């Protein structure tokens, strides 16, 4: 089994995989072209079209992350090659912490206190109990389900949404277009953990934002393509005014173009918090175990859970 590794810190991935797969030949994309071309499997994160175009004999691709949109949108992606993605692999915990922070930021009025500090204004706001702060989680896959459960365990009423029906203990689950329309008016914080697919792009548009209650907040540790940015800015209201728009604020970790361009109005908007796609770092140990197991199964011809390119996940 010959495995080509292409990602940041590829040498560390190569060495750690070699320990788990001692009978395999593991090398990085820095290897000579003739060695790269002989690869049976590619373990990668956002490969270039040039690299994919070299690999004519691939038997499988391991996507070193939960989001596969960059890979599926790559024009050189070979057809018919099974693709396995990381499913949680330790990312759910950090993402749940990120979401908890975001929900707490608005539920406990830290956004308001931050603006008051700039004015040296000492004024308390009435506390809102967690039980009175319903949270919506769009996307109930491996990570979304754990995030929804963590919020419910914290005492927040949680509404979850997925395309098809799901049942999760302690979560009020909704599905389909009708379920989304039912969920939006009922939540004070909306969390986005959907994959990037043709069906989810700009799912949070002007209509969806208008359906949220006045003063709701948006938290996006998912994919940047889920939000219509112009609609979001309109819902947030005038950046130069203390008067908030319909939407109270947003915590954003993912954007259609990354890094977020310096000229983006999101950077300077007083009701937006921006982080540089750091909500769900991939813990190397758990991810490597999952990758090694997938490679063993693929090489042995065993059943492996692969993504559906048509669905996008």
CA 108-114-119 angle, 5° bins: 135
pLDDT for the residue 152? 98
Measured torsion, CA atoms of residues 311, 280, 86, 255, in degrees rounded to the nearest 10? 30
CA 156-161-162 angle, 5° bins: 145
Q: Does residue 200 contact residue 188 with C-beta atoms inside 8 Å? A: no
**103: closest CA among 156, 173, 181?**
156
Strand partners, 120: none
Report the distance separating Cα 244 and Cα 225, nearest Å: 24
Domain 2-87+282-300 has CATH 3.40.50.720: yes
* Sheet containing 2-6: order of strands: 25-28, 2-6, 41-44, 60-63, 83-85
Encode pLDDT of 235-278 as tens digits.
999 988 878 899 999 999 999 999 999 999 999 999 999 999 99
State CA 230 to chain mean position distance.
21
**221: closest CA among 176, 272, 280, 267?**
280
The fold adopted by the segment(s) 92-274 is: Rossmann fold (3.40.50)
Q: Does residue 160 contact residue 137 with C-beta atoms inside 8 Å? A: yes
Q: How many residues does the chain have?
A: 313
End-to-end CA distance of the chain: 26
Residues designated catalytic? 223, 277
Give pTM, 2 decimals: 0.89
- Tokens 């979001």 belong to 232
Stretch 47-72: mean pLDDT, rounded?
Answer: 93
The structural domains of the chain, with segments of one domain joined by +, span 2-87+282-300, 92-274
Residues of the chain by 3-state class (helix, strand, coil), percent to 5? 35, 15, 45
Classified as helix, coil or strand, 94 is helix
Residue 286's pLDDT band, with cuts at 50, 70 and 90, is confident
Encode pLDDT of 176-222 as tens digits.
999 999 999 999 999 999 999 999 999 999 999 999 999 999 999 99
pLDDT for the residue 241? 82
Stretch 109-134: mean pLDDT, rounded?
Answer: 97
């Amino acid at each position: 089994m010959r495995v080509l590794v292409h990602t940041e810190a590829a040498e560390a991935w190569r060495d750690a995989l070699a320990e788990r797969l001692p009978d395999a030949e593991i090398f990085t994309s820095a290897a000579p072209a003739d060695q790269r071309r002989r690869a049976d499997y590619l373990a990668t994160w956002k490969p270039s079209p040039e690299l994919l175009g070299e690999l004519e004999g691939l038997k499988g691709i391991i996507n070193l992350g939960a989001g596969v949109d960059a890979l599926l949108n790559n024009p050189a992606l070979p057809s018919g090659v099974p693709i396995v993605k990381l499913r949680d692999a330790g990312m759910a915990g950090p993402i749940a912490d990120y979401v908890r922070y975001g929900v707490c930021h608005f539920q406990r009025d830290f956004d308001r206190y931050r603006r008051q500090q700039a004015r040296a204004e000492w004024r308390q706001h009435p506390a809102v109990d967690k039980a009175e702060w319903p949270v919506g989680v769009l996307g109930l896959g491996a990570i979304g389900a754990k995030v929804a459960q963590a919020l419910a365990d914290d005492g927040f009423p949680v509404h979850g949404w997925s395309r098809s029906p799901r049942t999760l203990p302690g979560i009020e689950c909704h599905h389909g277009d009708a379920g989304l329309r039912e969920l939006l008016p009922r939540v004070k914080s909306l969390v986005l953990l959907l994959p990037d697919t043709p069906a989810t792009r700009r799912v949070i548009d002007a209509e969806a934002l208008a359906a949220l209650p006045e003063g709701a907040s948006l938290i996006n540790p998912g994919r940047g393509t889920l939000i219509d940015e112009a609609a979001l800015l309109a819902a947030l209201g005038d950046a130069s005014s203390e008067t908030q728009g319909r939407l109270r604020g947003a915590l954003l970790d993912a954007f259609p173009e990354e890094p977020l361009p310096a000229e983006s109005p999101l950077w300077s908007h007083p009701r937006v918090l921006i982080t540089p796609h750091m909500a769900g770092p991939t813990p190397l140990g758990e991810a490597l175990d999952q990758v090694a197991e997938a490679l063993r199964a693929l090489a042995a011809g065993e059943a492996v859970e692969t993504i559906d390119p048509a669905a996008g996940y």
